[in-house]
Structure formats: C-alpha cells, structure tokens
C-alpha cells in the first residue's frame, strides 16, 4: 500500500494519508505521492467531492516528520516548505470541494492540510494546533497565512506563538471546525451525506463558487463583486446552467453533464 491512498466510489474520492506507524507524518515520500494524487483527482471527471482523512484512530496527520526535518539545510527547508505549499494550494485552487475529516491529532503540517480543505469536520478526540515555535521553527506549509485568514490575525498569533493544542470543541468555537462527532465512522458518514448533497448541484457552478470565495476573499469589496459577476457570466455559458434553469421551470430534476 502506498503512503497516500485514493479510492473512488459513487463520485466521492476518499483520500487517506496512510502512515499510521508514524501517526501519518508528512515527509518527502508522502508529499510526492500526495502531489501526484491531487493531480489525478483534478483530472478525473468521475470525482466530484474529496474526503480527506488519516489512517487509523490516533491521528489525521500528526505533522511533518521531525526525524526527516532535523538535518535539513536552510535551502532544503525552503524547498520542503514550497513543496508542501504548492500541493496544498492545488487543493485550494481545485474546482472540486475537499472535506477534511480530522480524527485524533492534526498538528503542524496536518493542521495545514486540513486548512487547505474547504471545510473541516472533527471527532471529539481531535487535537489541532501548530507546535512549531516550541521546536524553534514556524509553520511552513501555509499555516501562518491560512489560519490568519480564517480566524483573524490575533487569534492566529496566539495559537502559533503559544504552540498550544486546541480541542475539537474549541476549534468549533473559533469556526475552524464546522461539526464535531463522537466517532470517526459517524463523521465519515456525515461527510458522505454532505458530499452527496453537493453532487446534486451543477459541478461547474460548485467550482465557480469555490473560485469566487477563495480568489475574491483578498480583493476589495468592489473588485470582489466584479469578479463574482464575471464568474456568474461564465456559469451562464454552460449547458448545465441551461439545464438547471429549464428543469426548475419544468418541475423536474436536472441532469447535469459537467459541460
């Protein structure tokens, strides 16, 4: 079995970090496999939504592999950070929604992987955080940027400067996590139901809405509205939009063809 596993069933891609003996920690091998699989997901028209989780019960991803990082030179550290950033940015830029299902530890690079997803669910035993400053380093896979954009600069500074872990319920209070579940199975079932709800909708429209939110977030309000309008126009150029609007008027379920 690879260090990253992709299974596809009924339009849902199940992406699992599979290194349970190391708490699914990220090293170059894992990132290389993840990079290839993200590319495969983006090319695969059968996959409409992706559920991301970690193998086993103890960890989603406990972080980057400390043993691997310990002897990195500054140049190698930059290259390692850029690799992780590029992979996670592909997820953020993908037209397909990614749902993080966090079980156990999501620390450092694991927290960054979850933040690269479109929303996060977690089990009650989940622990999230950035321990990097406690190791005299900083988050390097987008954590300083994504967390601050999600919860604001002050909360992000507090979490990163203190290196403290937070519980799933605390993460929900901060709106990092959307829902908290008792068990991993319950969480995955809920994520599947959400994925099925998303898949009832126009796939191009979902992708355009993701782009409007992600790319428009850092624009001025005026520029964001112009960008939204332009994507609104793109939606109207699709056959799916014609089908969706016509089906509504004819009081029937639409049949979208991703075109």
Express each pLDDT in 130-189 by its tens digit: 999 999 999 999 999 999 999 999 999 999 999 999 999 999 999 999 999 999 999 999
Query: Residue ranges of the chain with pLDDT lower than 70?
Result: 1
Same domain, 139 and 237: no
Q: Please identify every residue annotated as catalytic.
A: 112, 132
Same domain, 28 and 55: yes
**CA-based angle 81:82:84, to the nearest 5?**
65
Query: Rounded CA gap, 247 and 205, in Å?
Result: 16
Assigned domain for 185 exists: yes
Q: Average pLDDT over the chain, rounded to whole? A: 96
Q: Read off the DSSP letter of residue 204.
A: H
Assigned domain for 258 exists: no
Secondary element (H or E) of residue 185:
helix 184-199
Number of structural domains (the chain) is 2
Same domain, 223 and 162: no
Contact 198, 140 (CB under 8 A): no
Domain interval for residue 230: 203-249
Same domain, 181 and 81: yes
Query: Rounded CA gap, 28 and 32, in Å?
Result: 6
Same domain, 112 and 157: yes
Q: Which two tokens stand for residue 210?
A: 């993701």
Secondary element (H or E) of residue 144:
helix 143-151
Assigned domain for 147 exists: yes
């Amino acid at each position: 079995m690879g260090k990253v596993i992709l299974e596809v069933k009924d339009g849902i891609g199940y992406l699992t970090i599979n290194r349970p003996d190391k708490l699914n920690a990220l090293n170059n091998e894992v990132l290389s496999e993840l990079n290839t699989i993200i590319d495969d997901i983006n090319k695969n028209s059968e996959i409409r939504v992706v559920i991301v989780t970690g193998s086993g019960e103890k960890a989603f991803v406990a972080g980057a592999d400390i043993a691997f990082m310990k002897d990195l030179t500054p140049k190698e550290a930059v290259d390692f950070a850029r690799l992780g950033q590029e992979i996670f940015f592909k997820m953020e830029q993908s037209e397909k929604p990614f749902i993080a299902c966090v079980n156990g530890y999501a620390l450092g690079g694991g927290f960054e992987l979850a933040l690269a997803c479109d929303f996060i669910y977690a089990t009650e035993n989940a622990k999230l955080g950035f321990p990097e400053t406690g190791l005299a380093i900083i988050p390097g896979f987008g954590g300083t940027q994504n967390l601050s954009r999600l919860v604001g600069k002050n909360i992000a500074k507090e979490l990163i400067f203190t290196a403290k872990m937070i519980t799933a319920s605390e993460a929900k209070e901060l709106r990092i996590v959307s829902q908290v579940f008792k068990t991993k199975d319950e969480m995955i079932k809920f994520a599947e139901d959400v994925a099925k709800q998303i898949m009832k909708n126009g796939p191009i429209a979902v992708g355009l809405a993701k782009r409007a939110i992600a790319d428009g977030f850092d624009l001025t309000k005026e520029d964001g509205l112009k960008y939204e309008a332009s994507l609104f126009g793109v939606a109207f150029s699709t056959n799916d939009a014609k089908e969706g609007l016509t089906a509504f008027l004819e009081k029937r379920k639409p049949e979208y063809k991703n075109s």
